[in-house]
Protein backbone atom coordinates (compact mmCIF):
# COMPACT_ATOMS: atom_id res chain seq x y z
CA UNK A 1 0.00 0.00 0.00
CA UNK A 2 1.19 3.50 -0.85
CA UNK A 3 1.21 5.35 2.48
CA UNK A 4 1.95 9.08 2.41
CA UNK A 5 3.26 11.33 5.18
CA UNK A 6 -0.21 12.79 5.26
CA UNK A 7 -1.72 9.35 5.93
CA UNK A 8 0.71 8.90 8.80
CA UNK A 9 -0.21 12.30 10.20
CA UNK A 10 -3.94 11.60 9.89
CA UNK A 11 -3.56 8.22 11.60
CA UNK A 12 -1.74 9.75 14.56
CA UNK A 13 -4.31 12.53 14.83
CA UNK A 14 -7.25 10.13 14.60
CA UNK A 15 -5.81 8.01 17.41
CA UNK A 16 -5.20 11.02 19.66
CA UNK A 17 -8.67 12.47 18.99
CA UNK A 18 -10.20 9.10 19.86
CA UNK A 19 -8.39 9.27 23.23
CA UNK A 20 -9.69 12.82 23.74
CA UNK A 21 -6.20 14.32 23.88
CA UNK A 22 -6.95 18.02 23.83
CA UNK A 23 -4.36 19.35 21.39
CA UNK A 24 -4.44 16.34 19.10
CA UNK A 25 -3.55 18.24 15.94
CA UNK A 26 -0.53 19.97 17.44
CA UNK A 27 0.70 16.82 19.16
CA UNK A 28 0.25 14.77 15.98
CA UNK A 29 2.52 17.23 14.16
CA UNK A 30 5.10 17.04 16.93
CA UNK A 31 5.12 13.23 16.87
CA UNK A 32 5.43 13.19 13.09
CA UNK A 33 8.23 15.74 13.23
CA UNK A 34 10.08 13.67 15.81
CA UNK A 35 9.84 10.58 13.58
CA UNK A 36 10.56 12.19 10.20
CA UNK A 37 12.65 15.21 11.18
CA UNK A 38 10.33 17.29 8.99
CA UNK A 39 9.24 20.67 10.29
CA UNK A 40 5.76 21.88 9.35
CA UNK A 41 6.83 23.55 6.07
CA UNK A 42 8.66 20.42 4.95
CA UNK A 43 5.67 18.32 5.86
CA UNK A 44 3.40 20.56 3.76
CA UNK A 45 5.86 20.24 0.89
CA UNK A 46 6.26 16.47 1.18
CA UNK A 47 2.87 15.37 2.46
CA UNK A 48 2.00 13.23 -0.58
CA UNK A 49 5.36 11.50 -0.78
CA UNK A 50 5.73 7.89 0.25
CA UNK A 51 6.40 7.25 3.95
CA UNK A 52 8.52 4.15 4.61
CA UNK A 53 7.36 1.25 6.77
CA UNK A 54 9.92 2.29 9.38
CA UNK A 55 8.29 5.69 9.65
CA UNK A 56 4.82 4.18 9.87
CA UNK A 57 5.99 1.81 12.63
CA UNK A 58 7.86 4.46 14.64
CA UNK A 59 4.92 6.84 14.44
CA UNK A 60 2.57 4.11 15.69
CA UNK A 61 4.95 3.27 18.56
CA UNK A 62 5.24 6.87 19.77
CA UNK A 63 1.50 7.41 19.38
CA UNK A 64 0.74 4.37 21.55
CA UNK A 65 3.05 5.72 24.27
CA UNK A 66 1.12 8.99 24.20
CA UNK A 67 -2.21 7.13 24.32
CA UNK A 68 -0.92 5.24 27.39
CA UNK A 69 -0.66 8.61 29.14
CA UNK A 70 3.05 9.41 28.79
CA UNK A 71 3.66 13.18 28.53
CA UNK A 72 4.57 14.37 25.04
CA UNK A 73 7.80 15.95 26.33
CA UNK A 74 9.26 12.55 27.33
CA UNK A 75 8.18 11.00 24.06
CA UNK A 76 9.85 13.76 22.02
CA UNK A 77 12.86 13.88 24.38
CA UNK A 78 12.89 17.66 24.28
CA UNK A 79 10.79 20.58 25.40
CA UNK A 80 10.89 24.35 25.01
CA UNK A 81 11.34 26.70 27.93
CA UNK A 82 11.88 30.45 27.69
CA UNK A 83 12.36 30.05 23.94
CA UNK A 84 15.15 27.51 24.47
CA UNK A 85 14.89 23.86 23.41
CA UNK A 86 16.04 21.57 26.20
CA UNK A 87 16.61 17.85 26.38
CA UNK A 88 14.29 16.13 28.87
CA UNK A 89 14.18 12.57 30.18
CA UNK A 90 12.04 10.96 32.92
CA UNK A 91 14.86 11.88 35.34
CA UNK A 92 13.78 15.51 35.21
CA UNK A 93 10.57 17.42 35.66
CA UNK A 94 9.21 18.74 32.38
CA UNK A 95 9.92 22.49 32.34
CA UNK A 96 6.63 24.36 32.91
CA UNK A 97 5.79 27.75 31.45
CA UNK A 98 4.81 28.80 35.04
CA UNK A 99 8.50 28.58 35.90
CA UNK A 100 9.37 31.31 33.39
CA UNK A 101 8.13 33.74 36.10
CA UNK A 102 11.04 32.60 38.28
CA UNK A 103 13.52 33.51 35.54
CA UNK A 104 11.80 36.88 35.00
CA UNK A 105 11.96 37.63 38.71
CA UNK A 106 15.67 36.76 39.02
CA UNK A 107 16.46 38.92 35.97
CA UNK A 108 14.40 41.83 37.29
CA UNK A 109 15.93 41.78 40.76
CA UNK A 110 19.56 41.41 39.73
CA UNK A 111 21.93 43.37 37.59
CA UNK A 112 25.32 43.31 35.98
CA UNK A 113 27.56 40.29 35.85
CA UNK A 114 25.87 38.35 38.62
CA UNK A 115 26.85 34.90 39.81
CA UNK A 116 23.91 32.54 40.36
CA UNK A 117 23.14 29.18 41.90
CA UNK A 118 20.19 27.07 40.68
CA UNK A 119 19.43 24.59 43.46
CA UNK A 120 17.53 21.49 42.37
CA UNK A 121 18.17 22.37 38.75
CA UNK A 122 16.56 19.30 37.11
CA UNK A 123 16.93 19.82 33.35
CA UNK A 124 18.77 23.07 34.10
CA UNK A 125 15.98 25.15 32.58
CA UNK A 126 16.05 28.07 35.05
CA UNK A 127 19.83 28.55 35.19
CA UNK A 128 20.24 28.02 31.46
CA UNK A 129 17.60 30.66 30.73
CA UNK A 130 19.45 33.06 33.05
CA UNK A 131 22.72 32.33 31.25
CA UNK A 132 21.14 32.81 27.84
CA UNK A 133 19.39 36.05 28.83
CA UNK A 134 22.40 37.63 30.60
CA UNK A 135 25.56 36.90 28.76
CA UNK A 136 27.65 38.34 31.57
CA UNK A 137 26.13 36.02 34.18
CA UNK A 138 27.95 32.96 35.46
CA UNK A 139 26.51 30.22 37.55
CA UNK A 140 26.29 26.78 39.07
CA UNK A 141 23.51 24.25 38.55
CA UNK A 142 23.12 21.76 41.39
CA UNK A 143 20.97 18.69 41.88
CA UNK A 144 21.02 15.53 43.97
CA UNK A 145 19.92 13.26 41.12
CA UNK A 146 22.71 11.84 38.96
CA UNK A 147 20.22 11.34 36.14
CA UNK A 148 19.19 14.99 36.27
CA UNK A 149 22.84 16.12 36.34
CA UNK A 150 23.52 14.23 33.10
CA UNK A 151 20.60 15.99 31.41
CA UNK A 152 21.57 19.41 32.82
CA UNK A 153 25.18 18.98 31.63
CA UNK A 154 24.02 18.15 28.14
CA UNK A 155 21.70 21.15 28.07
CA UNK A 156 24.48 23.48 29.24
CA UNK A 157 26.76 22.12 26.53
CA UNK A 158 24.10 22.26 23.78
CA UNK A 159 23.41 25.90 24.62
CA UNK A 160 27.12 26.78 24.50
CA UNK A 161 27.20 27.77 28.14
CA UNK A 162 29.96 25.46 29.35
CA UNK A 163 32.37 28.37 29.84
CA UNK A 164 29.98 30.16 32.19
CA UNK A 165 27.88 27.47 33.86
CA UNK A 166 29.09 24.46 35.83
CA UNK A 167 27.03 21.53 37.07
CA UNK A 168 27.60 19.90 40.45
CA UNK A 169 25.97 17.32 42.69
CA UNK A 170 24.56 18.78 45.88
CA UNK A 171 21.88 17.99 48.43
CA UNK A 172 19.74 20.98 49.35
CA UNK A 173 18.96 19.45 52.75
CA UNK A 174 22.65 19.40 53.72
CA UNK A 175 25.47 21.91 54.01
CA UNK A 176 26.88 23.24 50.72
CA UNK A 177 30.07 21.63 49.41
CA UNK A 178 33.28 23.43 50.39
CA UNK A 179 34.80 26.03 48.03
CA UNK A 180 31.54 26.77 46.30
CA UNK A 181 32.08 30.49 46.70
CA UNK A 182 29.39 33.13 47.07
CA UNK A 183 26.45 33.99 44.85
CA UNK A 184 24.49 37.13 44.02
CA UNK A 185 21.38 35.17 43.10
CA UNK A 186 20.04 31.87 44.43
CA UNK A 187 17.08 30.49 42.46
CA UNK A 188 15.19 27.31 43.16
CA UNK A 189 12.10 25.48 42.00
CA UNK A 190 12.25 22.81 44.70
CA UNK A 191 9.74 19.98 45.15
CA UNK A 192 6.70 21.64 46.77
CA UNK A 193 3.68 19.36 46.28
CA UNK A 194 2.07 18.50 49.64
CA UNK A 195 1.33 14.94 50.75
CA UNK A 196 -2.40 15.49 50.11
CA UNK A 197 -1.86 17.07 46.71
CA UNK A 198 0.30 14.14 45.63
CA UNK A 199 -2.87 12.01 45.73
CA UNK A 200 -4.75 14.33 43.39
CA UNK A 201 -2.05 15.02 40.79
CA UNK A 202 -2.76 14.27 37.18
CA UNK A 203 -1.96 10.67 36.16
CA UNK A 204 0.52 11.92 33.58
CA UNK A 205 2.47 13.67 36.35
CA UNK A 206 2.43 10.97 39.10
CA UNK A 207 3.06 8.06 36.81
CA UNK A 208 5.79 9.58 34.69
CA UNK A 209 7.53 12.53 36.36
CA UNK A 210 10.17 12.00 39.08
CA UNK A 211 8.55 11.91 42.53
CA UNK A 212 11.71 13.28 44.15
CA UNK A 213 11.26 16.47 42.10
CA UNK A 214 7.64 16.91 43.23
CA UNK A 215 7.00 15.92 46.84
CA UNK A 216 7.83 18.65 49.35
CA UNK A 217 6.70 16.98 52.60
CA UNK A 218 3.37 17.24 54.43
CA UNK A 219 2.96 21.01 53.96
CA UNK A 220 5.09 21.14 50.79
CA UNK A 221 7.54 23.53 52.45
CA UNK A 222 10.30 21.13 53.57
CA UNK A 223 12.81 22.17 50.92
CA UNK A 224 12.32 25.92 51.44
CA UNK A 225 13.09 25.36 55.13
CA UNK A 226 16.11 23.20 54.28
CA UNK A 227 17.51 25.75 51.85
CA UNK A 228 17.12 28.60 54.33
CA UNK A 229 18.70 26.52 57.09
CA UNK A 230 21.65 25.34 55.01
CA UNK A 231 22.37 27.65 52.11
CA UNK A 232 21.98 31.30 53.13
CA UNK A 233 25.70 31.53 53.88
CA UNK A 234 26.57 31.15 50.19
CA UNK A 235 24.48 34.22 49.33
CA UNK A 236 26.28 37.56 49.25
CA UNK A 237 25.05 40.42 51.39
CA UNK A 238 22.40 42.13 49.25
CA UNK A 239 21.94 38.92 47.24
CA UNK A 240 18.59 37.79 45.85
CA UNK A 241 16.82 34.58 46.85
CA UNK A 242 13.96 33.61 44.50
CA UNK A 243 11.71 30.58 44.82
CA UNK A 244 8.95 29.09 42.73
CA UNK A 245 6.05 27.88 44.88
CA UNK A 246 2.62 26.27 44.60
CA UNK A 247 -0.42 28.50 44.08
CA UNK A 248 -1.57 28.30 47.70
CA UNK A 249 1.88 28.59 49.28
CA UNK A 250 3.05 32.17 48.76
CA UNK A 251 1.88 33.59 52.09
CA UNK A 252 3.31 30.71 54.17
CA UNK A 253 6.54 31.00 52.20
CA UNK A 254 6.67 34.76 52.80
CA UNK A 255 6.32 34.11 56.56
CA UNK A 256 8.99 31.45 56.45
CA UNK A 257 11.44 33.78 54.69
CA UNK A 258 10.70 36.60 57.06
CA UNK A 259 11.37 34.20 59.98
CA UNK A 260 14.86 33.69 58.57
CA UNK A 261 15.44 37.47 58.63
CA UNK A 262 15.17 37.91 54.87
CA UNK A 263 14.08 41.33 53.66
CA UNK A 264 12.18 43.03 50.87
CA UNK A 265 9.94 39.99 50.33
CA UNK A 266 7.82 40.09 47.18
CA UNK A 267 5.35 37.70 45.57
CA UNK A 268 4.94 37.75 41.79
CA UNK A 269 2.45 36.04 39.52
CA UNK A 270 2.94 33.71 36.61
CA UNK A 271 1.30 34.26 33.22
CA UNK A 272 -1.87 32.50 34.35
CA UNK A 273 -2.20 34.93 37.25
CA UNK A 274 -1.20 32.54 40.06
CA UNK A 275 1.08 33.67 42.90
CA UNK A 276 4.05 31.67 41.69
CA UNK A 277 7.30 33.28 42.81
CA UNK A 278 8.40 34.57 46.20
CA UNK A 279 11.67 36.45 46.31
CA UNK A 280 13.64 38.40 48.87
CA UNK A 281 16.98 39.99 49.66
CA UNK A 282 19.57 38.88 52.18
CA UNK A 283 20.58 41.93 54.13
CA UNK A 284 23.11 41.49 56.86
CA UNK A 285 22.37 43.98 59.59
CA UNK A 286 25.36 45.76 61.02
CA UNK A 287 25.51 45.71 64.78
Summarize as ranges the residues that interact with ligand GLN (CB under 6 A).
Answer: 93, 96, 98, 189-193, 205, 214
What is the smallest separation between the CB atom of 214 and ligand GLN, expressed in angstroms? 5
Q: What is the DSSP letter of 234?
A: G
- Minimum CB separation of residue 193 from ligand GLN in Å reads 5
Smallest distance, ligand GLN to C-beta of residue 81, A? 13
State the nearest-atom distance from the C-beta of 116 to ligand GLN, in Å. Answer: 18
Say whether 244 sits in a helix, a strand or coil.
strand
Min. distance of Cβ 191 from ligand GLN in angstroms? 5
CA atoms within 13 A on the CB side of 266: 16
Q: For ligand GLN, which is the closer residue by CB, 51 or 72?
A: 72
Minimum distance between the CB of residue 39 and ligand GLN, rounded to whole angstroms?
A: 29
- Closer CB to ligand GLN, 114 or 224, in the complex: 224
Closest CB to ligand GLN among 208 and 260? 208
Burial class (CB in 10 A: 0-12, 13-18, 19+), 146: exposed
Q: How many Å apart are CA 245 and CA 264, to the nearest integer?
A: 17
Burial status of residue 56 (CB atoms within 10 A of its CB: 0-12, 13-18, 19 or more): middle
Whichever of 205 and 281 has its CB closer to ligand GLN, that residue is 205
The Cα–Cα gap between 50 and 62 comes to 20
Strand residue runs (E) in the chain: 78-81, 84-87, 115-119, 138-143, 165-169, 183-188, 235-244, 263-269, 275-281
How far apart, in whole angstroms, are the C-alpha atoms of residue 185 and residue 81? 20
Taking the least distance from each CB to ligand GLN, the nearer of 144 and 205 is 205
In the chain, what is the straight-line distance between the N-terminal and C-terminal CA atoms, in Å? 83
CB-nearer residue toward ligand GLN: 71 or 176: 71
Whole-angstrom distance, CA of residue 251 vs CA of residue 246: 10
Minimum distance from residue 82 beta carbon to ligand GLN (Å): 15
Q: Please, which residue, 120 or 131, has the CB nearer to ligand GLN? A: 120
Amino acid sequence: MFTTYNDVYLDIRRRLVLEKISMAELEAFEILKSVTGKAREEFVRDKYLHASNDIVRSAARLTERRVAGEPLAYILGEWDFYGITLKVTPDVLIPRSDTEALVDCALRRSNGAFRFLDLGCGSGCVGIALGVMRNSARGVLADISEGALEVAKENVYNNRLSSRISVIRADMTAAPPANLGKFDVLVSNPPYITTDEMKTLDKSVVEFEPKNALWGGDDGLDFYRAICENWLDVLNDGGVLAFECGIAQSSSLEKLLSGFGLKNIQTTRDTSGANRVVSCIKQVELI
